[in-house]
Structure 1
Amino acid sequence: MTDQIPPTPTPASAPPPAKPAEKRRTSRHAHHPVIVAGSAFFTLLLIAIVLGGGALWYGKSRYYAPGPLAEDKAVVVPNDYGVMDIADLLVKQGVIDDKWVFVGAAVGTRASGKLKAGEYAFAKGASIQQALGTLVSGKVIEYTVTIPEGLTSDQIVERLTEVAELSGAIRQVPREGSLMPDTYKITRGTTREDLLRRMMRTQDATLKEVWAKRDPDLPLKTPEELVILASIVEKETGVAEERPQVAAVFLNRLNKKMRLQSDPTIIYGLVRGKGRLERPLTRTDISTPTPFNTYTIPALPPGPIGNPGRASLEATAKPAKTKNVYFVADGSGGHAFAETLEQHNRNVARWRQIERDRKIDPTAQPAGTSGTTGATAID
């Protein structure tokens, strides 16, 4: 068998030679400055969006997260503090632990101009949201100042001086009887002068109202006389339901041109409202004239002997309908009332027996207690 020789390829059957790759030309517009700048801008915008989204997520989580306070805390925000100052203060006081989230939230919610000065209570674990809301609300901590009925103006000024939440000095002691004893709400930093002005306004309004509703046949010519007598009623009894009866006794005495014979007026004449008489009243005290001693003057004293409360003003303006002109302590904290001297003497005898049983000095009445009108008098 003869070997076959493969045929030699002819040009017609050979594969065509490969063409060299064409070189792609870059567009002239790809390097245009506007295109480059636009591309960079959108790249930066994308990065900003990613970062901003992350920051927003972080800030939001910190905004609502519980704060570092381990227990409730009061913080005073001064008047001249801006949002940055307040943020620094809250961080320093341990209320929040992220100053910039607080500032960002205050600015972002347009609350930065609504933050109010004052003393605020922040709850344990308060979030930045809650802390910001507390400051925007303006609900500052309130304190109460209670002024008991019957205190003199000097004694009231002394009490206000001792209230740490109040500020400022009192330049002048108010006129006796011009202040309304009550419980007043204040905020830290309220001035003592401001509180006194509130007390005077309250007294003025109360006196006008009570005077307008007074019994028409009272032997009192002016609202000032009502205050004078009410201040004596206030000092004479601490039993609320007795006030109209005590007021009636004094008013009946005024109608009969009798001396009031009130022990608290003796005390006021001796100390002039500067404090208490730290000893019992004596018979010498009773017989020694002063402008306020109603055992020696035949009328109302020249001014109040303290600051009466509303109840005493009302009792004096609308007294009980009785003919009693005497009363004396009954040993139970109240008083025994009498229309005649004979009845009164019996009541006095009972009181003297109580004094002996209790080993109380019968020649003296303890200063600062309820008076014993007529007990040491001869009429």
Structure 2
Amino acid sequence: MWRSIASNALTMMIVALFLAGGVVIWGKRQYETAGPLDTPVCLRVESGSNLKKVSATLENEGAITNSTIFRLGADYTDKANKLKAGSFLVPAGASMAEIVDIVTRGGASTCGTEVVFRVGVTSSVVEVRELDPTTNRYVEKAEFDPAAAEKPAEYTKVRGQADTRYRIAVAEGVTSWQVVDALSRIDLLEGEAELPEEGRLAPDSYEVEVGDTRASVLTRMADKQALILEEAWKNRVDGLPINSAAEALILASIIEKETGVAEERRTVASVFINRLNRGMRLQTDPTVIYGVTKGQGVLGRGLRQSELRRETPWNTYLIDGLPPTPIANPGKASIEAALDPAQTKYVYFVADGSGGHVFAETLDEHNRNVAKWRQIEAERAKQDDNQ
């Protein structure tokens, strides 16, 4: 009898173990299998939240099928206590295992609200925008002048949220003064900032956080520009009339200000290289403008004849060779163009009316191009008068 009971008990234990094993296998499959989410969602994890709250939110959003399995899986993989605050993009079909990894790995938020401080050549602007997870595109919520005394409600609201991301986007061709002036108007940054040397800041996008110092942001920009210049100088072509990386930076800044067409940079660079090789003056308006403004703002009008004749260290109509300093902060492409220009015989160029330029090897050809440009300008002026 006891033998029979023991046998039955052993059988039941074996069956229970098999059932438990089956449950574990089933649970593991549920945890690792693609989830039911049809479209991406933005999951916001509040500071101080826990996995129970997050799993309930995910279940309500239809991102997971079972919140208990979600929590057990996170606990089994030792991630239950690694939950990070922020806004995280959960892609369609993400498994529970993938979602746990997303909300515990750390790093910057991948969706939600972003504030972008854009530092432009002619103006600066602040954008408040939010990522639409279904289209993976940002939707603008507000845009305003950073110098405005009263900030829009959209900005004030997100400014107090811990998961709001901040980014400073610096355009190619801005001056160091413009960057420092813009940073002084960004209220989430702290401290004073000295004016860096012209040209020594890399135009790019920089993630920042509340409490970062203005000086530290400028240091990051300067360090990046130094690396770009070092690499480009190391890879320069032979035979250039440029004696140092500092001179390359000066030429790159002129190229940056002369053309906004990416495909033209190396051709524009070739014009200036050819002029330097022939001992011709560069005769470029952006350098004259810098002599007038010193990089502090935009001229906002055409150059006067008196300014073209004014003696400044940057007036390349009057000085030989390069000016003493850059006239703006050039981007990587312009630096590379200065040190690897196109192989041409061009020594002249003028606007073509479409945003680009037309190039010439001889003065006669250049004069014909100039005449065409003046005709285009006259026709545009006539059209404006008739409107």
TM-score, normalised relative to structure 1: 0.61
Instruction: After TM superposition, give the deviation of residue 107 of structure 1 in Å.
Output: 8.3
In the other structure, the counterpart of 1:153 is 176
Identity fraction in percent: 45
Consecutive unaligned residues in structure 1, runs of 5 or more: 1-59, 65-70, 361-379
Q: 1:191 aligns with which of 212, 225, 228?
A: 212
Q: Which has the larger radius of gyration?
A: 1
In the other structure, the counterpart of 1:277 is 299
C-alpha offsets along residues 162-193 of structure 1, whole Å, 9 cap, x if unaligned?
678xx4236323322112223x3636548364
C-alpha offsets along residues 190-228 of structure 1, whole Å, 9 cap, x if unaligned?
836454433323222221221112122111111011011
The answer to whether the 8 Å contact 1:160/1:192 transfers is no
Q: Distance in 1 between matches of 2:42 and 2:209?
A: 15
Matched, 1:323 2:345: yes
1:290 and 1:119, CA in 2 relative to 1: closer, same or farther beyond 3 A? farther
**How many residues were matched structurally?**
295
Instruction: After TM superposition, give the deviation of residue 231 of structure 1 in Å.
Output: 0.6
Q: Distance in 1 between matches of 2:372 and 2:326?
A: 31
TM-score, normalised relative to structure 2: 0.60
Consecutive unaligned residues in structure 2, runs of 5 or more: 1-26, 32-39, 61-69, 115-166, 383-387
Q: 2:251 aligns with which of 222, 226, 229?
A: 229
Q: Distance in 2 between matches of 1:75 and 1:272?
A: 46
Amino acid aligned to 1:325: V
Instruction: After TM superposition, give the deviation of residue 159 of structure 1 in Å.
Output: 4.8
Instruction: After TM superposition, give the deviation of residue 111 of structure 1 in Å.
Output: 4.4
C-alpha offsets along residues 293-337 of structure 1, whole Å, 9 cap, x if unaligned?
212222211111111112111211111222222211222322222
Q: Which has the higher strand share?
A: 2
C-alpha offsets along residues 252-290 of structure 1, whole Å, 9 cap, x if unaligned?
222222221111111112112222112221111111122
1:73 and 1:324, CA in 2 relative to 1: closer, same or farther beyond 3 A? closer
The answer to whether the 8 Å contact 1:95/1:122 transfers is no
The answer to whether the 8 Å contact 2:253/2:327 transfers is yes
Q: Distance in 1 between matches of 2:172 and 2:317?
A: 24
In the other structure, the counterpart of 1:141 is 110
Instruction: After TM superposition, give the deviation of residue 229 of structure 1 in Å.
Output: 0.3
The answer to whether the 8 Å contact 1:236/1:264 transfers is yes
Q: 1:114 aligns with which of 70, 82, 98?
A: 82
Q: Distance in 2 between matches of 1:224 and 1:76?
A: 48
Q: Distance in 2 between matches of 1:171 and 1:155?
A: 15
C-alpha offsets along residues 354-377 of structure 1, whole Å, 9 cap, x if unaligned?
2222228xxxxxxxxxxxxxxxxx
Amino acid aligned to 1:191: D
Q: Distance in 1 between matches of 2:209 and 2:232?
A: 33
Matched, 1:248 2:270: yes
Q: Which has the higher contact order (CA 8 A, sep 6+)?
A: 1
The answer to whether the 8 Å contact 2:183/2:189 transfers is no
Matched, 1:265 2:234: no
In the other structure, the counterpart of 2:118 is none
Instruction: After TM superposition, give the deviation of residue 158 of structure 1 in Å.
Output: 4.6
Q: Distance in 1 between matches of 2:349 and 2:321?
A: 18
1:303 and 1:109, CA in 2 relative to 1: closer, same or farther beyond 3 A? same
The answer to whether the 8 Å contact 1:119/1:188 transfers is no
In the other structure, the counterpart of 1:32 is none
1:179 and 1:119, CA in 2 relative to 1: closer, same or farther beyond 3 A? farther
1:107 and 1:215, CA in 2 relative to 1: closer, same or farther beyond 3 A? closer
